[in-house]
Amino acid sequence: MTHGGAAGAWVTIEKRKWDGRVSARWPVLLASDGPRWAWWSPAGTVRARPWRDAAERLARAEVVLAGDGNWLLTVAIAPDGAPRTAVVDAILPVRCAGPDLVAFVDLDLDLTVDLARGRARLRDEDDLARNAHEMRYPAWVVDAAWRGVHDATTRLAEGRWPFGDLAAALAAAAPPASAPPPRAGRAGALTTRMGGT
């Protein structure tokens, strides 16, 4: 598996911090495995927060879209299929981290995106400054965070992927009607019901 899973398979996503801690882990249905990544999580998905020894249950389905740059877009989807909220995270690029495991490093900066107005609001600059100091980010990591939010806001303003035709991008990431649900395997490892497993 070149990218940690094949499109149409359930994989585990890990959102990591620069110091290696896993801040979130959850199962997703992989729709595309690069260079444009896309995955889907149904409403009710449990997202573990190992760093805080906590978990949350998604109130709405989510679609995540990421290119090979320093950002990813998470869109919460209403039951009628309409996008409700959108957030861009500055990241180090999404990568395969092992069999059925896809990971990215969160770089603190976020954009809250107003899809109706085509605007974004920057958040968490203080988190970037604090974590860059505490976790000793190299200068190139701080630069990557700022490049990520700049690229995402430019794409939003110019109507480039994924913002230019968000409906098509979201539809491409939607699960097929026949998508099997994930099930926990031994020791909580993610397995699928595809191919008789």
DSSP 49-81: EGGGTEEEE-SSEEEEEE-SSSEEEEEEE-TTS
Shortest CA distance to 190 belongs to which of 46, 50, 20, 88? 46
pLDDT of residue 126: 96
- Give me the pLDDT at residue 35, please: 86
Cα-only R_g, the chain: 16
DSSP 196: G
What is the pLDDT, as a whole number, of residue 178?
60
Break the chain into its structural domains and give their ranges: 10-171
> Residue ranges of the alpha helices (H) in the chain?
125-134, 139-158, 166-173
pLDDT of 81 reads 84
In sequence order, the 6+-apart residues with CB closer than 8 A to the CB of 51 are: 17, 21, 22, 23
Helix H, strand E, coil C: the string for 162-182 is CCCCHHHHHHHHCCCCCCCCC
At 179, give phi and psi (nearest 5°).
-65, 125
CATH architecture label of 10-171: Beta Barrel (2.40)
DSSP-derived secondary structure letter, 118: T
Give the residue from 42, 40, 30 showing the smallest Cα distance to 174. 40
- Extract the tokens encoding 57: 């249950």
Task: Look at the chain and count its residues.
Answer: 197
10-residue stretch averages of pLDDT, the chain, 197 residues long = 65 96 95 90 94 92 93 93 93 93 97 92 96 97 97 95 91 74 44 28
Burial class (CB in 10 A: 0-12, 13-18, 19+), 26: buried
What contacts 33, CB < 8 A, 6 or more positions away?
A: 2, 3, 4, 5, 6, 7, 96, 102
